[in-house]
Amino acid sequence: MAASDIKTTNRIVPLDRVRNIGIIAHIDAGKTTTSERILYYTGKSYKIGDIDEGSTQMDWMEQEKERGITIVSAATTTFWTVTDPNSPVPQDSYRINLIDTPGHVDFTAEVERSLRVLDGAVTVLDAEETVQSQTETVWRQADKYNVPRIIFVNKNDKLGANFEGTVKAIIERLGANPAVMAYPIGAEQTFKGVVLLLEKKALVWPGDETGAKYAEEEVPADMKEVVEKWRNKLIEQICETDDVLLEKFLAGEEPDIKELKTALRRAVIAYKLVPVYAGASLRNKGVQPMLDAVVEYLPSPVDVDHVRGTDVHTGGEITRKTVNEEKFAGLAFKIQTDPHVGRLTYVRIYSGKLSAGQPVWNASKQKEERISRMLLMHANKREEIDAAYAGEIVALVGLKETSTGNTLCDKNAQILLETITFPEPVISLAIEPKTKSDQEKMGYALSKLSDEDPTFRIKSNQETGQTIISGMGELHLEIIVDRMKREFGVEVNTGAPQVAYKETVKSTAEGEGKYIRQSGGRGQYGHCFIKIEPQPRGAGYEFVDAIRGGAIPSEFIPPIEKGIKDAMENGVLAGFPTVDVQITLYDGTYHDVDSSEMAFKIAGSLAFQHAAKHADACLIEPVMKVEVSTPDDFMGDVIGDLSSKRAQILGTDKRGHLTIVNAYVPLAELSGYATKLRSLTQGRASYYMEPSHYEEVPKNIAEGIIAKSGKAQSAA
């Protein structure tokens, strides 16, 4: 076996024949439908899965089948053979590791972690809705990790489908440089195929059956002019990315198709161009050319030939080549509880080789772990393997300490890979077990679910004894409670959803914390001075140690910070966490005998409370970006209703026969909005929202929240 080969139970595949890709898009753009077609045409499944029937392979959870949405990202492995003699890659069978991600913003963590470990992505757009809000969000996530993409404009058979309008929206809303490769033949009910522009060849699907067979025809006579226009534009775009081809183009010579495709592959990997394809997944049309494009234009692990990380010992940057001979390095990007094999850890292997039974080193936690079994996953089905190689995505059984974002590596060649960052929860819910037996099971279930989902948090309210769970939205928490019941047999009562308010300060202040106790024998003594300053919104918390001359011994600095952090958890106004502050510890005193870590921890807590109360503390609330799609008749009612909810109207757009109203609305005002919108618009409008930012709560509303919390006296 060659050094850079991947072995599976049934085939050996060279590493340059591997594609690790994700399907990303707005909710309802057709990601799972497209994934199911990919599995069917590649021979991975023998029947096309249908979302409405609940027969999809990628949406395997009961909740996904019932609701017709994707909740967890599902990984699978399949193969596709390229037969085009002009292909920029060798004609051969290629292994595609595919991850289908959720479109709903409540499950954004699944998209974030998938993009962190993928080499390329397919963005699915709705030809009628064009570029929607969640598409912009996932596109920015892909930008963050420099993931090359291709675009599949889906639903060209839908009423109001507008392919050229979608291409225009790609430029305006995504800031991308789209290279149209396949132009649709017909639109709405007349859509029947695509013209491949470079080849000047029409692919026509005769009916809506499986779509496995299609006819190659001449370009329809009435399309020759539009095809020529888009083809010339495409050739110019490709030539602009390559000096040799540009010279030919300017001399009036057209490069051959293989040269153009080879240059396009380089441009896509360098993220200079984004190939655009057209189709209708539900009608089984246009998927195969997009599959060819996945292999021909998206990178293999070899194209991303090395990964950067941090040396655990020196803190300097080091790299690992994507080859099997290198020392092992991989990133754990997903934890899943499997009813049959227990805890599964999904790992992207960046370098080296991994074998079942082998010990691995968790560089993030400095602990050794042992792999008992290794699996290739096909959604929720498993295939056991003995070894895995650079470039693969596998599931490991037996890792007890590893969590999402941890680096696994060789103990003698330690490296820390860039971790994964997740957004903060915006909504909370109080839950309590229904019976005594549920009490014991609830803790276990919550711990397993928070292990799987980094955006799901659990907190105990010491005063009320309640358990508070927090997440990215009402749907997110609803699914969590449903999973507790179905998967863990835990029945719980839930309170009304609560908005995740936070506290911050608007001005600079100083505070003193002094803790002295004398009760015979050794006493307690801790004393410190801090300064608190506001930070920009979203900047988080920063601690600065400015102690000079040993005013406080260095071993007491961490306990002071711990005390400050503990006090920040409960704020000073209404018991909400304090965020976006810089705290500087600049002076203090200590006692040779009586000073202790505990005393300084309490002093730190007291100093924070003293400083925050004098720094113009205020409440801040999550503000959502809301997009309402409504027929024109109801636009005035929709805008009027949003204005009554303290909304900031950003403007309106026209999209087909609908008007899109964009606004920023405080989350606290959006409870029950779906029902209100339906009644306002006779059920004809829909809305989408995603977390945007935090803003100060107006004074009159803040006073009510503080009074309700029973902490009004703290604000004095």
Structure tokens, 566: 């503990």
Rounded Cα gap, residues 74 and 447, in angstroms: 22
Handedness of CA 145, 150, 155, 160 (dihedral sign): positive
**8 A C-beta contact, residue 367 and residue 399:** no
**8 A C-beta contact, residue 712 and residue 555:** no
Rounded Cα gap, residues 557 and 126, in angstroms: 55
Rounded Cα gap, residues 196 and 182, in angstroms: 5
Structure tokens, 284: 């089984």
Alpha helices in 151-256 (DSSP H): 163-174, 224-239, 243-250
Nearest to 20 by CA among 148, 134, 120, 88: 120
Which residues are within 8 A (CB) of 683 and not within 5 positions of it... i.e. 6 or more apart?
none
Rounded Cα gap, residues 141 and 116, in angstroms: 9
Structure tokens, 519: 């009760």
Structure tokens, 95: 């292994």
Q: SS3 of 551, please?
A: coil
> What is the DSSP code (8-state) at residue 285?
B
Please report which helix (H) or strand (E) contains residue 331, including its range.
Answer: strand 329-338
Strands 467-471 and 498-499: unpaired
φ/ψ (deg, to 5) at 552: -130, 125
> What is the DSSP code (8-state) at residue 382?
E
**Which amino acid type is present at position 258?**
K
Q: SS3 of 514, please?
A: strand
| Helix axes of 257-269 and 224-239: crossing angle, nearest 10 degrees | 60
Q: SS3 of 337, please?
A: strand
Which residues are within 8 A (CB) of 529 and not within 5 positions of it... i.e. 6 or more apart?
510, 511, 512, 513, 585, 586, 587, 588, 607
How many CB atoms within 10 Å of residue 465? 8
Nearest to 498 by CA among 578, 576, 580: 576
Handedness of CA 402, 405, 406, 408 (dihedral sign): positive
Angle in degrees, CA 135, 137, 140, rounded to 5: 105
Three-state SS letters, 581-605:
EEEEEEEEECCCCCECHHHHHHHHH
Angle in degrees, CA 582, 456, 712, rounded to 5: 50
How many CB atoms within 10 Å of residue 301? 26
Residues in the chain: 716
> What is the DSSP code (8-state) at residue 426?
-
Structure tokens, 338: 């499997």
The annotation places the binding site for GTP at 25-32, 100-104, 154-157
Residues forming a β-bridge with 653: 660
Angstrom distances, CA of residue 591 to CA of 199, 512, 600, 605: 83, 17, 11, 19
The annotation places the binding site at 25-32, 100-104, 154-157
Angstrom distances, CA of residue 406 to CA of 251, 329, 332, 348, 361: 53, 11, 5, 11, 10
